[in-house]
Structure formats: structure tokens, C-alpha cells
Structure 1
Amino acid sequence: MAQGAPAPVNDKKITEDFSKAMELVRANYVEAKEYEDLTKTAIQGMLHQLDPHSDYMDPKGYREFNDKQHSRYFGIGSYITTRLRQTFVTEPFKDSPAYRAGIRYGDQIVAVDGKDTSKWTSDKVRELLLGERGTRVTVTVQRPSLAEPKTFQITRDGIALPSIPNFYMVKPGIGYIGLTRNFQSTTTQELVEAIAMLREKGATQFILDLRGNGGGYLDQGIRVADKLLQRGQSIVSVRGRNRNNDQSAFAEMGASDNFPLVVLINNGSASASEIVAGAIQDHDRGLIVGETSFGKGLVQRIFPMQNSGALVLTIAHYYTPSGRLIQRDYSNSSLIDYYNKRNFDPNVKKGEMKLTDTGRQMYGGGGIEPDIKLGNADDGALTTTGIFEATFLFTRELVNGQVPGFANYKLGSIDFDSKLKGSEFQVSDDLLKAWQTYLLGLAKDYPGYGLTQQKLDESKVWARKFIRSDVLLAAYGTDRRDQVVSDLDLQLQRAIQELPNAAALAEKARARNNAMNRR
């Protein structure tokens, strides 16, 4: 060995050193530490040196992951959230144990199985609500219309988590499909059923909404794209260090027809969502509207561990049909900066330029850039997080009949099936004044939340929309609320406008492909 050369790596010695370090920490550190916690942190630290998406799931996290991928979990069935350091129900799911028990929008969860949760975050409360099917959980809530807390005995059951929670006719002849939850084992079948049911209602054109869909199963992304492309068209290629991981996917069945299509994406659309959007864009099958997607083009494989946890390891990159790399650069970013997309300018073309089927120029290395770039806030959005959270508290009081002069807003249990009029619960100037008075009254108890007259004045346009939207949520649930307020969704409205252009582009691509096939 040359003098001064580093000693060869000894895998056995490294393993021994790691075990020795763990034992020294357990035996001598100033505070007691659990071996499992130390192991999890050590493995995660190692994986995070590789890339932002390689990770380790402990046994509990792995079980929850599998439940989500199979489109179900066991619990009471409700959306819960943290507002002003307290946990509230925003919606019980239709036909869920929570709904059948009488849980409502705005109920504050103050205790679970006798444990005081009044100051707990929603994540911590959620852990207590989950459990085995058939087991019972005691949930105590504080409701503004009741003088005393109300306690419910609820039996946990299987809760469906569909990838497509919402689809409807947004306009005559136009079907909207909200594929806004992750790609799971049931996703493709859900899409087929949604298209069929919308066709029965007269849909001949479609909007596919992938906003906020963070990915999921690769094979389901491929199968969804298969339902939208022509038979034989490429969908995605996967390339890694190990050539055994390389593969290319093509549409095997193909779309039953070539209906006009627009796809909605935003910066929360990632991975499998980007595979679908990229394939649609590269083949000029439709148009993409919204914001630049997240840029997650790394393929992970899950390796189960002996302790019932799992290692999530990146093994390859995704590439669109034209050869664009989906993954954006993460070499100079911390995890926090990467996930918050700091130091990333979607307007800077960093990747190699590629051409779509009709010759349009596209660039890789930064997610999927929409054909029509459009944000979704036309009123400055909200000025502080505090105003958003405090407005929820006001709406909670409103639907419980606790805002003087507005008894007509008082609601009972959520009604998932009543016929919508589309004009209910308009927010008047007088109601806005009551909103301002209520939030100013909270300012003393919540300093630093921006509950000032000036900030409230600046947020009036937003508040008018939010209050009505949340009252509709309390009255009818998320899915039907979204139908009523779809006219406020700027990206969706633009997608509707672009359907004729999407149809013309797809026809141009088909004519070009047919001409090439005849050669």
C-alpha cells in the first residue's frame, strides 16, 4: 500500500463502530434514549444524505402507509385540523362512524378516551382516534351551541380513502374529475367508473384535476395514462444505476376515444401525477393548466425490514416520453428548502430542451411546466395565518347559531344528499361587520396573529369567499361545496375555456401520428 493512502473500507468494522456508538449513547448519554428511536434517527440521517425522498418508516408508519395505499384505514372517519392551537372537526365523512354518531363541523375535540386533548395538535389527536376495526373510542367535543361538552361512544370501522373523492358535471357536456388524492391500488378503476358515470350524464369533454396529488403507486400512474393515450404511445421511462431497474412503459389498451382533455396541476402535484401530466403534454393529448409541478422524478422501492418497518430507497429517475427529466435539482438545498421550493425559480429553464409530438419546446429538470401558467388567488389571499384560523372559529359560531342577528345560518347535521341551489348563504356586508367584530375580540387572547383592523380590512374580499365556502362545507360536505363554488376556481374556469384549444392540439397530434404510421 502506498504511504499515506487511506485504509480500505472495512464493512464489518463500520458496522461494529456503529453498534458501539449506539451502546455508548444508551449507557452514558445524559438522558435515557430508546434504542428504536436512536436507530430510526440514524437510518433517516443516512438516507437523507442521499436524496430528499429516500426515507425510513418505523412499523407504525409502515402500517399507516399500507392502509393508505389500499385506500382505507380504521378510525371514526372525519377530517380534523388545528386552529389557534386547538383541534376541530371540519367534516365527518358520509356514512362514517363519526357521521352516524352525530359529530359535526366545528366540534372541538377536548378529550379522547378521557385524555384531555384541548391543547393537542390534530396529528396527536388523530393517533388516538385510529385503531382496530370494531374497537370503541370515547370522543368528547365542545360545541358552541351546547353549555356542556358532549361525549360520543364511537365504534371504529374501515374508512374508504378514494383517490377521486369528487367528480361532477361542471358545465353541460363537461365532466370534472378530481384525482386529488394519491395514486393507490384502486385509482385506475375509480377513473374508469368516474368517466363512465359522467358520460351517462352527457359529458363529452373532461377536466382531470391533479392539483395537490403527491404521487403514489407508479403502476397506477402508468395505468391512468394508458386510459388517456393512444395504444402504443410511450408513457414513462425509468433509468437507474442498476440496469435491471430500467424499464419503459407504453399504453397497452389506449383510450376508448379521444375526448378533449385539460389537466390541472400545481406545485403540490408530484411523482405519478407528473408522469401522467408529462405524458399528456409530450404527446399533445391535451393541455396542462395551473402552476409548475413539484418536480419529484425519483423512483423509490420499498424494502421491508426485520422489525416490521421499511426502507424507502431511490433506485432510478423518471423521464417523460420526450426524454425530459422530471426531478429538479436538490444538490444545494436543505430538506426544508427543498420541500418549500426555496432557491427554485420555475421560470428559469435549467434542463435540456425536448420536443413534443407536434414540435412544441419543453424543458426538463424542474417538474412539469403548464402550457397555461395561472395561479389561483385573485384577491391577495389572506394576509395572516391568524386571520384564516380565527375566521374558522367565527364560522363555527355562525353555523351553531351563536352570531346575533344571523340565526338563518344555523345548521344541524351535515346533509350530503339535499339538492343544491347554488345561491345559498351569501355573505352580506352586515355579516362581514360581525366577522370583524368577532376577530377583533380575539386579538387580546391571540397576540401576534395579525388580528388588526387594517389587516381585516385588507382581507374582506377573501373573507366573503371563505365564510360562504365554509358554511357550505358545514351544510353539504366538501364534494358538494366544491361544485357550488367552482366558479371561484380561476384555474378550473381557465381549463374549461381551454378545452377547444386542447381538442385542436390533440387532433393535430393525431393527424401527424397517423401520417407517420402510413409511411
Structure 2
Amino acid sequence: MKSNFFRGAVALGALALIPATTAALADGEASSYKALDEFMDVFQKVRSDYVEKVDDEKLIKGAIDGMLASLDPHSSFLDARDFQNLRTQTEGSYGGLGLSVTQEDGAVKVIAPTQDTPAWRAGIKAGDYITHLDGQLIYGGTLDEAVDKMRGAPGTQIKLTIVRPGRDKPIDLTLTREIIQLKPVKWEVKNGIGVINIVSFSANTGADVRQAIRSIDKSLGRKPTGYILDLRSNPGGLLDEAVSVSDTFLERGEIVSQRGRNKGDVERYYAKPGDDARGLPVIVLVDAGSASASEIVAGALQDQHRALVMGERSFGKGSVQTMLPLSNTTALKLTTARYYTPSGRSVQEGGIEPDVRVPQLSDPDYKNRPKFRESDLRRHLINEIKTDNAALEEDSKDDPRFAATAEELKKKGIEDFQLDYALKTIARLAAKPGGAVAQAAPVRKPATH
């Protein structure tokens, strides 16, 4: 009798919750409809009373862009033009300067120049601001307008005015546009060591890295002493290609996991048997411009103890964007998940901390040049585990290994100190018995994340 009473009470309690839940949902919907009515009121007022006639499409796109910009720096609406730009970035080629740029408070800011392009050869750096193009102020314009002006027919010139934090005066540069071939992977052999430079993670990058390994072997007629995977100034790209590149150097184990809003939204990616580098020493070079897919590769090889990560702390973009088609020509690029390295680390804000911090001594301005990272972007996602690298990076104690000046290095023929240091480290590793970076046992995950 007693149990029947309790069962009845529980049932009544559950039923009593239904109207309350329904009412809460109804209140939420009513609030949303009220806000939409307010939006339409503003839209109509702008259409009818603004000082100049305005285009409806332009107003709506502006409203969508504003809504997505309020979320995080990486969610955006792609119209037909943006789609074409995305295809160019991942598949094609174009006439231009070889710059990845973003917009910050109305200013065009350099994310990174692509290696062996006019921008890279001119010495444009990550964190530079472009203020004028051919003498015309571009502050306050759209990013698309600035990109369109920088692109153009190969052989034509354009004058850029650059403001660099730490420099008193603007820098004027005249660059000649070239065909920018978006080849994601380049390789060379230095001192018997294979150097593989990945510019971006676009279509077939994983396959291109495996081909680079075969080409290095063929050029030497044997296996190299080791490999350097250069991911510096690589802004990222396709998640699948980051997984493919990581898999190239791993025999087994987790590569990365991504986790969405709901508890069950977890997807894990694992390496398939077969290490193309046959266990030889691997060093991964990163810097403040190494972002997203670059950090997935560096984090996977670091956590699985397959490679040494060397250079500077990476950018710190630990989020995943999904393309959600809206029509045949438009889509929503929406942040849908965070990604985690095999040990359960999120790189959001904090980035990948190198095993060996190596400053770029061959850059005479490296000490004074501000580093531009994810944590500098407005409305960036906050890492659940707050990291503070400021004390470490501002350590003023001189390291005797890194005392040379850019001028002294140039006299020795060293134009890229980080690469030179990595080459010497590979040689030292290979000279020691059992010196190769061993394939690790599966990484032990922390109990909580």
C-alpha cells in the first residue's frame, strides 16, 4: 500500500513537472520571438529612414555576420564569394602576395606570410598591421575589399604600408604579385636529414608528406638520419589531413579527440599500424603562427613521445569548425567542438609548449616583436584549465646556448637558427646508441579532463 502511494506520488510529481517545463520552453520561445520582432523593427527603420538608400541583402548579411562574430573569432557565414575563396585556399592558385590575414577592430592584421612568396621575401611578419594599399587608407573597410586589392595579375606591383608593433615609424614596401601555388608540402635534404615543410593542411597533405618521405629516401639512396617536420607559420586547415600526417609517423595510439556541446558528442581518431619514418628521430618545429591542424600534429607526436617539439609556443586554437550547407552557394562555418591531444590536453589559448624552447635568433627583432595568438583575439573561447605562459616567456635569464646575435649567425652562414639547431639535435640523437625518439606505449590519460 505504502509502495503504491510512493509510486503514485512520483508519477504525480513527474506529471506536475510537464506543465512547468512546457511553460519554461514557451517563455523561452516568446522571448526569442520578441527579440526577432525587435530586429525587424530596426531593419524596417533603417530601410525607411537611413540617410542613404541601403541594400536589403547587405543589411541582412551584416546582421548575420554580427551574430556570428558575437560567438567566437572563427564562426562565420560564407556567401558565394567566400566559398570561392575557400576553394582557392584549399585547392587552387591565385595571383597575389602570399599572405594570411584577419581583421581586428577594423584593421587588417597579418596572421602569417606563406614561405617563398613575395610577402615572405619582403620580410612581412605575423602581427604586422597593413594600413594602406597603394597609398589608400584601408582601415574601416572590409577584409574582402583588402584581399581583393592585394590579389591581382602576376607581375603587377602594389605598395603596402605596414605598422609593426615596437617600431616607431611605418614601413613602406613595394611588392610584385606572383602566381601563388598552394603546394602544401615541400621537402629538401640537409646534412643527410629530411626536412619536410608543411605550409597548410589542404587536400592530400597527408599523401604528399608520405610521398616526400619516399622522395627523400630515393634522393639519398637510403634512409635519412632523421626527419624535421616544419610547421612554423602554418595556420592549419583540414582536420582529416592533420590526422593523416600524424598517422604517417605513428605506429599506434590515439591522435586526437574532439568533443562537442553534449556529453556524448565525442569522436576519437587513431593511428593505423605502419610508421612511414621507421622509428627514425623526428623533430617538429613550431612557432606562434602554428595553429589548429598544426597543433593537432605537434600535440599527437609529443604526447605519444614520437617526436621532440622544438621552437616557440604555438598559436593556441583548440576548436573545430564544421561547414553546414545552407544552400548550393552558401554555408555556415560554425564552431561545433573542441579538440584534445591524446593525453587529454586542450590547446585552446595555451597552445603547444615545445619540449625545447628555441628562439629564432636569426631574426634581429625576435625579442621585441609581439607574438599574435588565439588569446589575443576578441571573444576567443576560454580554456577550462586556465594556462599562464607569461612568466615563462618573459624569463629574462640568458641561456648560454642562445647568446649569438643575428649578425654573428649570418657570418657563419646560418640564416634560420631554429632549423639549424634542429638539424644539429637530430645528428646528436642519431649518434647516441638508441638515440631515436622511441615509439611510446599508449599514453596514460588523466582521470578527469
| TM-score, normalised relative to structure 1 | 0.55
Counterpart check, 1:195 vs 2:200: no
Q: Which residue of 1 aligns with 2:195?
A: 176
Task: Quote the Cα distance in structure 1 between the aligned partners of 2:56 and 2:408.
Answer: 52
* Structure 2 counterpart of 1:296, from 314, 317, 321: 317
Relative to structure 2, which stretch is displaced further, 261-270 or 195-204?
A: 195-204
Amino acid at match of 1:294: F
**1:246 has 2:230 as partner:** no
Mapped to 1, the partners of 2:362 and 2:342 lie a distance apart of 35
Q: What's 1:109 paired with?
A: none
Per-residue CA deviation, residues 29-48 of structure 1 (Å, 9 max, x unaligned), is 23443333333332232223
Name 2:357's counterpart in structure 1: 373
For 2:437 and 2:98, the matched residues in 1 are separated by: 44
Amino acid at match of 1:497: K
Aligned residues of 2:279 and 2:438 also touching (Cα < 8 A)? no
CA contact (8 A) 2:359 2:366 kept: no
Report SS of the residue matched to 2:418. helix
Gaps (5+ residues) in structure 2?
1-18, 102-112, 123-132, 160-175, 370-404, 443-449
- The answer as to 2:285 corresponding to 1:264 is yes
2:166 corresponds in structure 1 to none
Report the Cα offset of residue 198 of structure 1: 1.1
**2:316 alignment partner, SS class:** coil
Deviation at 1:56, TM superposition (A): 2.4
Residue 495 (1) aligns with residue 422 (2):
yes
CA distance in 1, matches of 2:227, 2:334: 36
1:318 matched to which residue of 2?
339
1:223, 1:33 → 2: CA distance? 47
Distance (whole Å) between structure 2 residues aligned to residue 376 and residue 200 of structure 1: 31
What is the CA-CA distance between 1:193 and the residue it aligns to?
1.6
Is the partner of 1:227 in helix, strand or coil?
A: helix
1:285 to 291, 306, 319: 306
> Which residue of the partner structure matches residue 255 of structure 1?
275
- Deviation, structure 1 residue 282: 0.5
Deviation of 1:249 (Å): 0.4
Structure 1: how far apart are the matches of 2:435 and 2:284? 13
Instruction: Give the aligned residue type for 1:174.
Output: I
Counterpart contact for 1:227–1:253, Cα < 8 Å: no
Mapped contact 1:163–1:182 kept (Cα < 8 A)? yes
Pair 1:54–1:506, CA change in 2 (3 A): farther
Deviation at 1:319, TM superposition (A): 0.6
TM-score computed with the length of structure 2 as normaliser:
0.63
CA contact (8 A) 1:215 1:273 kept: yes
Match of 2:90 in 1: 69
Cα contact 2:323–2:333 (8 A) shared by 1: yes
Does 2:71 match 1:53? no
Instruction: State the Cα distance separating 1:53 from its structure 2 match.
Output: 2.0
Displacement of 1:506: 7.8
Task: Tell whether the 8 Å contact from 1:285 to 1:502 is kept in structure 2 after alignment.
Answer: no
Cα distance in 2 for residues equivalent to 1:91 and 1:237: 28
**Letter of the structure 1 residue corresponding to residue 417 of structure 2:** L
Is 2:202–2:237's contact at 8 Å kept on the other side of the alignment? yes
- Any stretches of 5+ residues in structure 1 without a counterpart? 83-89, 99-104, 107-116, 143-151, 329-365, 386-460, 469-483, 514-519
Asked if the contact 1:69–1:184 (Cα under 8 Å) also holds between the matched residues in 2, the reply is yes
- SS across alignment from 2:249: coil
Q: Distance in 1 between matches of 2:424 and 2:231?
A: 18
SS at the partner of 1:201?
A: helix
**Distance in 2 of aligned mates of 1:274 and 1:284:** 15
1:292-371 alignment runs, 5 A limit = 292-306=313-327, 308-328=329-349, 366-371=350-355
Q: Distance in 2 between matches of 1:488 and 1:495?
A: 13
**2:135 aligned with 1:119:** yes
- For the residues of structure 2 that align with 1:91 and 1:185, how far apart are their CA atoms? 17
CA change 1:61–1:121 in 2 (3 A) is: farther
- Whether the 8 Å contact between 1:283 and 1:509 is mirrored in structure 2 is no
- Distance across 2 between alignment mates of 1:463 and 1:81: 29
- Asked if the contact 2:279–2:439 (Cα under 8 Å) also holds between the matched residues in 1, the reply is no
Find the aligned partners of 1:384 and 1:51 in 2 and give their Cα distance.
29
- Write the distance in 1 (CA, Å) between the matches of 2:184 and 2:316: 20
Query: SS state of the match for residue 212, structure 2?
Result: helix
Counterpart residue identity of residue 425, structure 2: E
CA apart distance, 1:314: 1.0
Q: Structure 1 residue 500: deviation in Å?
A: 5.3
Shift of the alpha carbon at 1:195? 1.2
CA deviation profile, 1:446-489 (whole Å, cap 9, x unmatched): xxxxxxxxxxxxxxx869999x9xxxxxxxxxxxxxxx96x221
Aligned partners of 1:271 and 1:298 also within 8 Å: yes
CA contact (8 A) 1:287 1:502 kept: no
Q: Quick check: 2:280–2:437 contact (8 Å CA) kept in 1?
A: no
Q: Which residue of 2 aligns with 1:428?
A: none
CA 1:17–1:76: 2 relative to 1, 3 Å: same
Q: Tell me by how many angstroms 1:302 deviates.
A: 1.2
